[in-house]
């Protein structure tokens, strides 16, 4: 599934929040365009996610964190009106998995929240991180912080939880609007990327393990 098709489909509908964009002329803008071109060319996703020769891993990671943030925003935007305190009183993935929110600020201890509130806080938190140029520098003159890799892992792990909630609790809505193939394509791209660089623990990936084994195969484009 080409990236342009994904974006065109979801941008016709409701968006959860504005997209974070790359500044033209920067290295990460170039990498973003390179990644888009590879996706649109139909190359196997396992190949698409590999670090291009000669490129910096932190740049590659930053590009994908921002891209996945944008796309998962769009996906959640299609189901957010059906995700409220009544339908989703907890941030869960079925009866077995529940996610608690903690940010060390307002929520100093892990706290159970309605899924919509959890995801709202999550997206606000991620947006704050990626808009902080000390963390996601826009210039090669500014180095990435030493904590960048661990922070990116945390962001991607939390974004995965949105996939868990959408797939388990709102997939009927995704099917109804004809977005199943688009969401699956985004998920596969995300999964192959985090697997390539071992960014999310196997335990965190467990809630979608059965589905992942079914839709993520070497032949997938």
Separation between Cα atoms, residue 124 and residue 17, nearest integer Å: 9
How far is Cα 120 from Cα 86, in angstroms, rounded to an integer? 16
CB atoms within 10 A of CB 63: 22
Burial (CB < 10 A; 0-12, 13-18, 19+), residue 64, is buried
Q: How many residues does the chain have?
A: 221
**Residue 170 assigned as binding residue:** yes
Question: Terminus-to-terminus CA distance in the chain, angstroms?
Answer: 7
Total Cβ atoms within 10 A of residue 187: 22
186 annotated binding-site participant: no
Q: Inter-axis angle of helices 57-79 and 180-196, to 10 degrees?
A: 150
Contact between residue 16 and residue 74 where contact means Cβ atoms under 8 Å apart: yes
Spatial separation of the C-alpha atoms in residues 189 and 20, rounded to whole Å? 19
Q: Say how many CA atoms lie within 13 Å of 128 toward its Cβ.
A: 8
Element (H, E) at 98: strand 97-98
**Which residue ranges are tagged as binding site for Zn(2+)?**
83, 88, 165, 170
**Which residue ranges are tagged as binding site?**
83, 88, 165, 170
């Amino acid at each position: 599934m080409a990236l342009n098709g994904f974006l065109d489909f979801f941008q016709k509908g409701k968006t959860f929040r504005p997209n974070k964009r790359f500044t033209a002329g920067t290295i990460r803008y170039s990498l973003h365009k390179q990644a888009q071109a590879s996706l649109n060319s139909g190359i196997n996703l396992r190949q698409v996610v590999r670090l291009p020769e000669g490129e910096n891993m932190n740049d590659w990671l930053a590009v994908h964190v921002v891209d996945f943030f944008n796309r998962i925003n769009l996906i959640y935007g299609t189901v957010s009106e059906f995700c409220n305190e009544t339908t989703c009183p907890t941030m869960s993935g079925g009866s077995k998995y529940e996610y608690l929110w903690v940010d060390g600020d307002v929520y100093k201890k892990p706290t159970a929240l309605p899924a919509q509130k959890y995801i709202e806080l999550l997206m606000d938190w991620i947006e704050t991180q990626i808009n902080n140029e000390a963390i996601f520098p826009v210039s090669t003159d500014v180095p990435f912080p030493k904590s960048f890799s661990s922070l990116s892992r945390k962001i991607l792990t939390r974004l995965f939880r949105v996939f868990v909630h959408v797939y388990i609790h709102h997939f009927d809505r995704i099917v109804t609007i004809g977005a199943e193939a688009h969401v699956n394509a985004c998920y596969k791209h995300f999964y192959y990327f985090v697997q390539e660089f071992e960014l999310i623990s196997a335990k965190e990936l467990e809630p979608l393990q059965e589905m992942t084994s079914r839709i993520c195969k070497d032949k997938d484009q």
